[in-house]
Structure 1
Amino acid sequence: TKARDRLTELLTDGIDVHRCAAARALGSMGLPESSAPLVKALLDEDPDVRADAAAALGELNDPSTAEKLMENLVGDPESDVKRAAIKALIAMRYEPVVPLLRKLAVSRAEEDVYWDGDEFYTSGWDAWVDIQMSAFEGLAVFAPEEAVPEIVDAMLDDEAQDLTEPGLRALSRMGQPGAHAIIDLYAKGDTRMCRRIVKAVGESDNPHLDALRGGMIADVKPEIRRLALENLDPSDDRLKPLFGDKDASVRAAVVKHAGLQNVLLLWDLIKDPEPEVRAEVFRIIAAHPDKFRDEDLEKAIQKAIAGEPKAAKQAALALIALKGPEAAKGLLHVLGNKSIPQEFRVGVIEAVQGAGDIAVPALLQAAGDEDRHLRLAALTALAEIASNDPKWPNDAGLGLMVGLDGDLVLPPEEPEVEEVVEEEPLPEITEEIAKEIDEELPLVAEERKPATSTLDAIKSNLPDAPASEPEEVVLTEEQQRFLDMTKTRKHAKRKISWDIAAAPHEDVQ
């Protein structure tokens, strides 16, 4: 095609950045005819071009180019090119690279691979560290069982980089030898190692690890049991004992993972002493009410709507799912009861939201509560009910409109102002009275010394000198525009507190 021909020209004659882009584009196009120019680019003077050409050949997946890639892996001085060549050879599933990968997993293999001796001193980084990681990734794909000893030795080398996760991933795919190595590491490992083994085993389909999968759910550490149970199919009978596990986090985890497949075992857990377990049970009931239709069960759930707020909220959701929106009527009285914890009242609001119009009157009342968290939860629920109702107008939407007009929560009544009784005016001072006062109380000028401190000024009780009225400043339209601009500021992102200094009637609006 014209595009391929033009890209091939760029790969040969373009500047370095264009040659790199052309190599990547040819790889993405996936045309077999691009193999020859890309192989030629493996000898480009620019290491970035060589690396992109190797990656492109990996996308083409042309086995005939594998030997050329091996030459770059062995002889190219640039570590990025070596890594690109390894990834391409892995993508091609080129088996002859496996012996070299085994060597690179534990050493620099200097007898087989050329390294730039000055790279460490110029970059301060040992390129073999990256190559070693790529070698581990390759061994995880090829999974040669004979490589198990090298992988274990590299993983346990305290002076090397942490290769535990890629090592376990490789071992988990190496049949019976790999499984035995993992079992041995599990028996000797600490909690951190065991967590990583649980993850690796969960991602592997190695049948030789099945016994370990079952053994890990009986581990003495609750954290391991909790993680390991997710590696088993929800219908696996080996999970059933965990519904009675002594650790609450394990019980909650198994309920979440396999509760739907073990409905009968959930009945006893409705009264579990730990709220996190009860909450998970109620979540399953709310999501699958058809599997839990039973009058006694409904009564047990209704009794559970008390105590710890989060579990009680989930119980309320479960009850509404079982009995329908009408069940919400028995919960609405909670919203106005200030003696009940805030978290539970908010949870009830979220629960009754699914009841639709039945809950609207109580939610409108809660929108005027003194607790702002409750107000916002009620308004949010009203908005959800209004938006989910295909009919307009609806009660929830009209209630919000009333709130927008400022009539949902009225301002408090202003206190009555006492009438001020006007005192009788003093008699008018005539000239004769004024003359008589002047004769009895002659005025003597006093010298006013300036106050030397704030305290002196207060004690002197003298009025400040009257300030002269400033001249009125008249701004032009442009000056006023600039002044208005200075009053605006960009608000930084920040968390908004629930509590603000606003009256409920103003806050709701």
Structure 2
Amino acid sequence: MRHAMLAEPIRTIDMTGAILPHVACDNEVIRCAAVRALGRNGKEDPRSREVLLGLLRDPDPDVRSDAIEALAPLIQPEDAAVILESLNGDPVREVKLAAIQILVDLQDRNCIPQLRALVLSKCEDSVAWEDEIADWDDWLDVQVASIDALGALGVADSIDDLLAALDDEMGQTLDIPVFRALARMGKQGVIWLVAWVDAGKGLARKRAADALANADPALLRDHLDRLLAADDVALRLLGLSLLSVDAPQAEDITLRDASEHLRCAALRQFGEARPDWVIAALADPSEAVQATALELLPLPLPEYLHNMLTDNMLAWLKTGSVVLASAAASLLPKIAPNRAVDPLTALAVDDDRAIEARIAAIRGLGGHRDPSVTGILQGLLSDRSQQLRLVALHEIKSRAQSGDPEALSCLVQAIDGSLLDEDDAVQPLGAETAADIGMQKEEATGHLRISEDGEILRDSNGEVTDAGGSTLASLQIATPAFEAKSSSNKPKSKRRRVAIEGPDAVAEDLSCVAMDAAAGLVSVRIANAVLSQIDAPQDRARIAAWRALSTGFSTCLEAAQAAPMALSDAQPEVRRYALAVLIGTEQIDKYIQQVLEDSDTLVRADAVAQLRGKRLLDFVTDPAVAVRHAALLVVLNSGGGDAELVTQAIAQVFDSARVDTIAWGLQRSAQMRSEAVHRLADDAASGRDHFVILDALAVG
């Protein structure tokens, strides 16, 4: 293969002209590759469309399939008749499906009679199919595509056809596409969907309701009263989405609908405009609604509400469900910071509470500016839950970034392993029960009696009593449904217990996580703590240490001195991060041969990226794709600095016949595309050589 004659980059590359001769090749594999390449690279050339239209009549089914797929972005309205001919006359399933989609894209109305016919039957007198064994499944696919097409074209006249197909004994799989099409067929389609929802049953009814949600909202407004009065919550939610805040039904839905899910959705929809509804929802019997109200509550609070709500949030932190306790934990530090630290700490350390609520408490503590909070967060780093430790650690990092010296010391100790005592450093996980993960408590009524000191009053049996009502009782909006729900006494089911997640080597895990968390903290103390772990016996600790050094302290003298030894580490991640340090400290030249011979592909690729000149030619055809691409990228980025190097590298890449690398290079280099044109025009080249280039062009 010539190297000296390799083409220079040219201003205009006639890639279409280079591909077209291969479309007529006798070899069907090459022809298919040429068709795919033409679709990818000839979109701006009118010759491509003409050739692809002609190939729709090619005797080879694979060529026809590739041709119609390549033709889709080039199609013109005047081509609709040819595409309809392929739908009817081509027996290949893929061709038919592509033809239907193209006709929809063209918004062609002449195909509608044929699409309606295909919804009801195979039309064997006018439509060709591949064989009797496969044609039934093929027809089902074409039938579904035809239904979708009629919906996309908005053909309301075809509704009877769709319903007939749905009623057919073999039409049980058609409800989703039929309902989906009806939703796009204007007023008549919506009427049928609403009727189906009213009269339907089971899964089909649900699917009709799901499809109705995608209909034009303007058409749904005609059915608003039916939607809002429906028993199905999903339909009422759909009706809710059509309401404005000043609609007469809006307040009643927000505060009195039987579904807590709907009340929550209404609060989110109307809460900003009606903060009075949000305040009223604080007394809702559902803790989910109360939690939503807490999230949406506008600040600052009205004076009359402040103390009352604070007392209730203190109670909810102790007894509320996971969602309500979490919402209270997030809000309490914002409205009553002087009363937040102790109750949030109590929740955060209570391993009998749901982990989501404990995490919310930790985050609430983290945002509190009280200096004592850092020590509290530090104490949580010995918790058996890895999730909790991670959240606490990130809150400590935030405080360190804000200049808290105690938080910085805590991070340093977490990294170097000196933070936890011997008992906490390793905590074997036994079979004992542990905190519930994501398990809500029995829903509370929201009527709590709270003392002047904010304590929950209990009866003689130690149970929380509601005899005196909540301090928010004056806000309660009573409805028969609410009162019935509040007065019901459901037996409490046994709470399922699951094990706390996380490794038992807490100190080791904490050190690794702390090194990652400390990223971005420029501190000599952090750097020294990380350096203490570079020779740790645990693989994970060494990897975390070198990762931290390579990203935050790559120019550190100690890291630079230790990096050469780390190139011999058993873990490739350590070697790769050590290599990054060597590159950052400009020591790579001393160790380049060692890393070029590394057993790990990514280490070698990073090393190759540091090479310049002729040495890159040894790697542009490397067995590892990452190495090849690293070498070729350096060559191509050299521009005109070394024209001979670029020429030789491109020649080697094409000669290697590696489709992935050729395709990768074609996307990045005009000179590679120019060389592809010249090689495709070389009649002396083998069919395999032509196929490789065409396949690479098709991939790109």
TM-score normalised over the length of structure 1: 0.72
Query: Hey, what's the Cα distance between the residues in 2 that align with 1:212 and 1:25?
Result: 51
Residue 266 of structure 1 aligns with which residue?
278
Query: Hey, what's the Cα distance between the residues in 2 that align with 1:333 and 1:165?
Result: 51
The verdict on how the C-alpha distance between 1:87 and 1:298 changes in structure 2, with shifts beyond 3 A counting, is same
Equivalent residues in 2 for 1:234-383 (5 A)? 235=245, 237=247, 238-243=249-254, 244-285=256-297, 289-290=298-299, 293-302=301-310, 303-305=312-314, 306=316, 307=319, 308-322=321-335, 328-334=340-346, 338=350, 341=353, 343=355, 344-355=357-368, 358=371, 359-368=373-382, 371-373=383-385, 377-383=388-394
Deviation at 1:256, TM superposition (A): 3.8
Report the 3-state secondary structure (helix = DSSP H, G, I; strand = E; otherwise coil) of the residue aligned with 1:203: coil
String of CA shifts for 1:50-107, please: whole Å, max 9, x gaps: 1222223321131222211121111112222112111111111111001111111111
> Quick check: 1:100 aligned with 2:114?
yes
Residue 553 of structure 2 aligns with which residue?
none
Query: Hey, what's the Cα distance between the residues in 2 that align with 1:175 and 1:507?
Result: 59
Residue 200 of structure 1 aligns with which residue?
211
Query: Hey, what's the Cα distance between the residues in 1 that align with 2:332 and 2:350?
Result: 23
Deviation at 1:202, TM superposition (A): 2.2
1:404 to 415, 419, 426: 415
Deviation at 1:318, TM superposition (A): 2.1
Equivalent residues in 2 for 1:460-499 (5 A)? 498=501
Deviation at 1:249, TM superposition (A): 2.7
Residue 428 of structure 1 aligns with which residue?
none
The verdict on how the C-alpha distance between 1:13 and 1:234 changes in structure 2, with shifts beyond 3 A counting, is farther
Residue 186 of structure 1 aligns with which residue?
197
Deviation at 1:146, TM superposition (A): 1.1
Q: Indicate the structure (1 or 2) with the bigger Cα radius of gyration.
A: 1
Is the 1:382–1:397 Cα contact (8 Å) retained in structure 2?
Answer: no
Residue 397 of structure 2 aligns with which residue?
386
> Quick check: 1:70 aligned with 2:84?
yes
TM-score normalised over the length of structure 2: 0.54
Is the 1:186–1:197 Cα contact (8 Å) retained in structure 2?
Answer: yes
Residue 50 of structure 1 aligns with which residue?
64
Residue 440 of structure 1 aligns with which residue?
none
Query: Hey, what's the Cα distance between the residues in 1 that align with 2:241 and 2:62?
Result: 42
Equivalent residues in 2 for 1:162-177 (5 A)? 162-177=173-188
Residue 242 of structure 2 aligns with which residue?
232
> Quick check: 1:144 aligned with 2:155?
yes
Query: Hey, what's the Cα distance between the residues in 1 that align with 2:203 and 2:244?
Result: 25
Residue 109 of structure 1 aligns with which residue?
123
> Quick check: 1:221 aligned with 2:221?
no
Query: Hey, what's the Cα distance between the residues in 1 that align with 2:340 and 2:56?
Result: 71
Query: Hey, what's the Cα distance between the residues in 2 that align with 1:356 and 1:497?
Result: 30
String of CA shifts for 1:213-266, please: whole Å, max 9, x gaps: 44223211335434x256436647344322211222332333344433442212
The verdict on how the C-alpha distance between 1:168 and 1:394 changes in structure 2, with shifts beyond 3 A counting, is farther
The verdict on how the C-alpha distance between 1:390 and 1:9 changes in structure 2, with shifts beyond 3 A counting, is farther
Is the 1:55–1:87 Cα contact (8 Å) retained in structure 2?
Answer: no
- After TM superposition, the structure 1 stretch with the greater mean CA deviation from structure 2, 175-184 or 349-358, is 349-358
Of all paired residues, the percent bearing the same amino acid is: 27
Report the 3-state secondary structure (helix = DSSP H, G, I; strand = E; otherwise coil) of the residue aligned with 1:219: coil
Query: Hey, what's the Cα distance between the residues in 2 that align with 1:193 and 1:262?
Result: 37
Report the 3-state secondary structure (helix = DSSP H, G, I; strand = E; otherwise coil) of the residue aligned with 1:49: helix
Query: Hey, what's the Cα distance between the residues in 1 that align with 2:370 and 2:21?
Result: 70
Is the 2:56–2:68 Cα contact (8 Å) retained in structure 1?
Answer: yes
Count residues in correspondence: 415
The verdict on how the C-alpha distance between 1:204 and 1:33 changes in structure 2, with shifts beyond 3 A counting, is farther
Is the 1:310–1:347 Cα contact (8 Å) retained in structure 2?
Answer: no
Unaligned runs of 5+ residues in structure 1 are 414-494
Query: Hey, what's the Cα distance between the residues in 2 that align with 1:207 and 1:178?
Result: 13
Report the 3-state secondary structure (helix = DSSP H, G, I; strand = E; otherwise coil) of the residue aligned with 2:122: coil
Is the 2:381–2:389 Cα contact (8 Å) retained in structure 1?
Answer: yes
Query: Hey, what's the Cα distance between the residues in 2 that align with 1:217 and 1:395?
Result: 57
String of CA shifts for 1:330-360, please: whole Å, max 9, x gaps: 5344158659736444431132223366431
Query: Hey, what's the Cα distance between the residues in 2 that align with 1:213 and 1:24?
Result: 50
Is the 2:359–2:391 Cα contact (8 Å) retained in structure 1?
Answer: no
The verdict on how the C-alpha distance between 1:270 and 1:39 changes in structure 2, with shifts beyond 3 A counting, is same
Deviation at 1:394, TM superposition (A): 4.1
String of CA shifts for 1:409-443, please: whole Å, max 9, x gaps: 33469xxxxxxxxxxxxxxxxxxxxxxxxxxxxxx
Is the 1:58–1:89 Cα contact (8 Å) retained in structure 2?
Answer: no
Is the 2:377–2:396 Cα contact (8 Å) retained in structure 1?
Answer: no
Is the 2:362–2:391 Cα contact (8 Å) retained in structure 1?
Answer: no
The verdict on how the C-alpha distance between 1:318 and 1:23 changes in structure 2, with shifts beyond 3 A counting, is farther
Query: Hey, what's the Cα distance between the residues in 2 that align with 1:353 and 1:393?
Result: 12
* RCO higher in structure (CA 8 A, sep ≥6): 2
String of CA shifts for 1:253-308, please: whole Å, max 9, x gaps: 333444334422121221322222222222333xxx44x63234443442134222
Residue 94 of structure 2 aligns with which residue?
80
Deviation at 1:133, TM superposition (A): 0.9
String of CA shifts for 1:94-145, please: whole Å, max 9, x gaps: 11001111111111122332233xx232x48531111101101110111122
Report the 3-state secondary structure (helix = DSSP H, G, I; strand = E; otherwise coil) of the residue aligned with 1:120: coil
Unaligned runs of 5+ residues in structure 2 are 1-12, 425-497, 512-700
Deviation at 1:147, TM superposition (A): 0.9
Query: Hey, what's the Cα distance between the residues in 2 that align with 1:296 and 1:14?
Result: 88
Query: Hey, what's the Cα distance between the residues in 2 that align with 1:27 and 1:321?
Result: 59
1:61 to 60, 63, 75: 75
Is the 1:61–1:91 Cα contact (8 Å) retained in structure 2?
Answer: no
Query: Hey, what's the Cα distance between the residues in 1 that align with 2:246 and 2:71?
Result: 44
Is the 1:219–1:225 Cα contact (8 Å) retained in structure 2?
Answer: yes
- After TM superposition, the structure 1 stretch with the greater mean CA deviation from structure 2, 293-302 or 307-316, is 293-302
The verdict on how the C-alpha distance between 1:221 and 1:376 changes in structure 2, with shifts beyond 3 A counting, is closer
Query: Hey, what's the Cα distance between the residues in 2 that align with 1:264 and 1:90?
Result: 50
The verdict on how the C-alpha distance between 1:193 and 1:8 changes in structure 2, with shifts beyond 3 A counting, is same
RMSD (Å), alpha carbons: 3.3
The verdict on how the C-alpha distance between 1:398 and 1:113 changes in structure 2, with shifts beyond 3 A counting, is same
The verdict on how the C-alpha distance between 1:67 and 1:266 changes in structure 2, with shifts beyond 3 A counting, is same
The verdict on how the C-alpha distance between 1:23 and 1:205 changes in structure 2, with shifts beyond 3 A counting, is farther
